[in-house]
Structure 1
Amino acid sequence: MAKESSFDVVSTVDMQEVDNAYGQAKREIAQRYDLKDSGAEITLDKGGRKLTVAAPAEFVAKQVIDVIGSKLIKRGVDLSAVKWGDIVPAAGQSVRRTAEIIEGIDKETASKISKDIRGTKLKCKVTIEGDKLRVSSASRDTLQEVIAFLKGQDYGQPLQYVNYR
């Protein structure tokens, strides 16, 4: 019997790159003439994996989110890993908006990915292992087809394909 090949489907975010983007955005907000004295600020909770934007108005909050988004893109962080919540009124006229940085594949998404792969009718086996999926097959070509199929799908978060052997 031929040796089985496999790869893992994971969803990870490099928090160091998020921290770097946060620092760059904070500096840009402090220097930009339209945001300098506006009272807008960004905070990063690395442990809780949350970004918080506080601003005096909704328009300013959107500008700050655009700044942090552009810095994340430049640092190679996929924006689909950052889920922004609703704008919440804060003290006075100010507003606050929180974003959660998603890492790992939840059970619902994992089962949807698994179902989609099985729906392709390719000869492969998909197992869910915690917050990742392992796809295995006797044929490496089949695994390449699965990766190509998954790259064409949108599951609301970035996917990486690791441990290909």
Structure 2
Amino acid sequence: MPSFDIVNEVNAQEVDNAVNNTLKEVATRYDFRGLHTELEFAKKQNRIDIVAAESMKLNAVKEMLIKHFIKRGLEPKALDFGSEEGTSQGHVKMSATIKEGIDRETAKKIVKEIKNLKLKVQPAIQDNQVRVSGKKIDDLQEVIRNLKSKSFGIPLQFVNLK
């Protein structure tokens, strides 16, 4: 019986590359000369920390990071930016959490959307992914086509189509 998995995975190496490219761009930009700017990717916590001299520079670094995410083929939807906070040195900081996996609520929305299509497929929630199986590959492709047109707040990848 053919099946595929709906997942939300982010390539950590590509995230690291996007962060490094953003750091290079910050180092070469004239408006950042002499100003304190940090950008750090914590792989274990799946988080990117941004520290800048002022709020406007922080937003500029955030926009650069999003631009480099797109260039590296990563979805910016995977980034969940926190609120802006002050530091003890007078700088401002922000953390961006990288969302991976599909949480229960989003998985339920995906399953409901698949069932509303009235196709002969069976969606099943498994840990942090959704497996869809059916008798016809055409039905599975129709599910993929439909889900790509919808927005669930996270990037979705369709893997293991067998």
- Shorter-chain TM-score category? over 0.9
Segments of structure 1 that go 5 or more residues without pairing to the other structure are none
Structure 1 runs of 4+ with >3 Å offset: none
For 1:54 and 1:102, the matched residues in 2 are separated by 20
Query: Does residue 30 in structure 1 map to residue 63 in structure 2?
Result: no
Which whole-Å deviations, capped at 9, do the CAs of 1:47-99 have from their partners, x for residues lacking one? 11100111121101001111111111111111001111111122243211100
Q: Size of the alignment, in residue pairs?
A: 162
Aligned to 2:159: 162
Aligned to 1:130: 127
Aligned to 2:78: 81
The letter of the residue matching 1:75 is: R
- Give the secondary structure class of the aligned counterpart of 1:67: helix
Q: Is 140-149 or 33-42 further displaced after alignment?
A: 33-42
Which whole-Å deviations, capped at 9, do the CAs of 1:92-142 have from their partners, x for residues lacking one? 432111000111111111111111111111111000111111101111111
* TM-score, with structure 1 as normaliser: 0.94
Q: Report the RMSD for the aligned CA atoms in angstroms.
A: 1.0
- Give the secondary structure class of the aligned counterpart of 2:31: coil
